[in-house]
Structure 1
Amino acid sequence: MQTPFIDFNLKTVLITGGAGFIGSNLAFYFQTHFPQCRVIVFDCFRSEATFSNGNLKSFGHFKNLIGFQGEVISGDINDDVALKALEAYHVDYIFHEAAISDTTVLDQGIMVKTNVNAFKSILELALKSNAVVVYASSGATYGDAPSPQRVGFEQPQNVYGFSKLSMDYLARKFSAEHPNMSVVGLRYFNVYGPREYFKNKTASMVLQLGLQLLSGKAPRLFYNSDKILRDFIYIDDVIQANIKAALSGISGVFNVGTALPRSFQDIADILQKELGTHFQTEYFENPYIGAYQMHTQADISLTCKALGYVPEVSLEEGIRAYVPEIRRIFESEVNRG
């Protein structure tokens, strides 16, 4: 991705959820391209605490930040005292990635508190220093809406999607009250790429299938997986969207995908080619029939027009770029014994 025209050097950037997947990639983007940019990572980091579904409450991990030389702060976005302390930094840009991103969490109260109520606190923090805010919304706001999914046609099917849509409404109201501020929501579709391993079960199928293959196992997919399509987007294009959103000077909500949905079968086949494996795919019945999205496709026409965003990485190119990291993860994290 080309370095944007506007210089972030000598600016102060706050990344909430900065030890997570997208947040850590943003941190390294700024460190690499703008070495004089002051980058502050704020994350509650992982512990052994779990939700009722057994999944971890936080996916933030120190290993995602190995090599990062900026400031790291351990804190929770639900902690008003911790957020109050951030006022002293007088930030110019806030990339708000912190959230409960596990779509299977059923605790509606904690989901709304963390994703919606804490976001209001982030907006109030931004107001104090007139900071630009770019925040993570989600394609989950669309639920089972028909493809292509367009802003304004949402029908969330779980509390996660509801919470993200509520964030969008909150951002819209805030922007109307403070028209001189820029608040941009990015509805990520199916993101994959380096630094997602510590998302555990919620990591992309690209990573999960890649590790299966390296373990000597055949890829396992639902029957008719060649007809189950998703809008898969490589992390580099997500970073591109974040940077262009930050520089846009506008407010709004935009889809971030490729507009070119691909199948899970495509992923398995591309991985086998890149990894040099030749397993027969094993198929099994989809247990989620009737409650499973068969097709997602981001309508990115508004994103391209308003932000100047153009997806650059095809599924083949993204997987090819990702494979060396998948191999490293397998050797260093999965196959250590």
Structure 2
Amino acid sequence: MRYSDIDFNSKTILITGGAGFIGSNLALYFQNNYPNVKVVVFDRFRDETRLDNGNLLSFGHFKNLQDFTGEIITGDINSKEDLEKLSDFRFDYIFHQAAISDTTVQNQKLVMQTNLEAFKDLLQKAKIDGAKMIYASSGAVYGKLPGPHRVGQEAPANVYGYSKLMMDHLARKQEDVVAVGLRYFNVYGPREYFKQKTASMVLQFGLQLLSGQKPRLFEGSQKIKRDFIFVEDVIQANIKACEAQKSGVYNVGTGIARSFKEIVDILCEELGIETEYEYIPNPFVKQYQFFTQADIEPTRRELGYAPKFSLEEGIKADIPYIKRIFEEEVE
């Protein structure tokens, strides 16, 4: 399905983090809808390098791009030498998805370098090429503020959210580049499995249920609510952002907060499973967002964005992927 009147055929597009969750979905969206588009994926790809919390530094995985036929450049956005490989291309659009997106990372220097400093380099590339920059911001900029969350009212509770807020401030200051920031809320959907522990709870709960385990919910989960958004709607927002004529920052969610318990209830219904729930203490209380809800009216008004998937519809669409991952990847 095409989400814009822009004809991307004959355009050259860069997707950083293109072997990751959202980046790979973007790459395949363009490939499937525009046979003559040139898509360049730039990704570090995963190795065994780990962060201070034990999680992998990079989640980029070749299996996310098994159907991709475009060009791939292996590189780290922190490396000037690797970024120099992009000088062979003149891009029309840059979709910047690469980042350290793990909210539990404590290494502030590494997060700021990867998320903010590398963004400066890519903005310079956009300026040279005359490219439009669409980049991933985050609902994490709102921290523990009560919802609905509105652009202009931010209080990040971790360095990841702070780095994204600084990216937003930087983007607004650009005079020669149209830079559109999309504050993703809780995204779920196909191609997220290789995010491991940072994959959405939709996938994690689904795999727990298929494994015959009791779904493990944090204590008080019926009161913990998030704005869960299916990845297809995130792709829609990215494509709609290409039509923006000026820089801006926008929330990308459904505008509706749902509980983690509701996720399990819907999964049980779709999978035909009856089970008891197990409740465990929340180890991330101090940096945890207990409620998120995106104010998406400016996104609707200015980008023409309208979420197409409710939580029920999104999980139903995600079930084939969850089942396939369980059969192919879970031991």
- Aligned partner of 2:163 in structure 1 is 163
- Deviation of residue 84 (structure 1)? 2.0
* Superposed CA offset, 1:9-66 (max 9, x none): 0000000000000000000000000010000000000000001111100000000000
CA contact (8 A) 2:222 2:259 kept: yes
Structure 2 counterpart SS, 1:320: helix
* Alignment partners' CA distance in 1, 2:321 and 2:300: 29
| Equivalent in 208, 212, 217 of residue 212 of structure 1 | 208
State the AA in 2 paired with 1:195: R
- Deviation of residue 255 (structure 1)? 0.3
Gap change, CA 1:79 and 1:217, over 3 Å in 2: same
Structure 2 counterpart SS, 1:239: helix
* Alignment partners' CA distance in 1, 2:197 and 2:303: 32
* Mapping of residues 1-337 of structure 1, within 5 Å: 1-174=1-174, 177-178=175-176, 181-289=177-285, 291-335=287-331
State the AA in 2 paired with 1:253: V
CA contact (8 A) 1:187 1:253 kept: yes
> Unpaired segments of 5 or more residues in structure 1?
none
CA contact (8 A) 2:3 2:240 kept: no
* Alignment partners' CA distance in 2, 1:290 and 1:11: 45
State the AA in 2 paired with 1:109: K
CA contact (8 A) 1:3 1:33 kept: no
Structural RMSD (CA)? 1.0
Gap change, CA 1:14 and 1:291, over 3 Å in 2: closer
- Deviation of residue 290 (structure 1)? 5.2
User: How many aligned positions are there?
Assistant: 331
Q: TM-score, normalised to structure 1's length? A: 0.96
* Alignment partners' CA distance in 1, 2:43 and 2:297: 33
CA contact (8 A) 1:16 1:23 kept: yes
* Alignment partners' CA distance in 2, 1:231 and 1:125: 33
Structure 2 counterpart SS, 1:225: coil
- Deviation of residue 246 (structure 1)? 1.2
CA contact (8 A) 1:233 1:257 kept: yes
> Unpaired segments of 5 or more residues in structure 2?
none
State the AA in 1 paired with 2:194: F
- Deviation of residue 298 (structure 1)? 0.3
Structure 1 counterpart SS, 2:173: helix
* Alignment partners' CA distance in 1, 2:189 and 2:269: 18
Structure 2 counterpart SS, 1:334: coil
* Alignment partners' CA distance in 1, 2:54 and 2:280: 24
* Alignment partners' CA distance in 1, 2:71 and 2:289: 40
Q: TM-score, normalised to structure 2's length? A: 0.98
* Alignment partners' CA distance in 1, 2:286 and 2:160: 19
Structure 2 counterpart SS, 1:298: coil
Structure 1's consecutive aligned runs of 4 or more residues displaced over 6 angstroms after TM superposition are: none
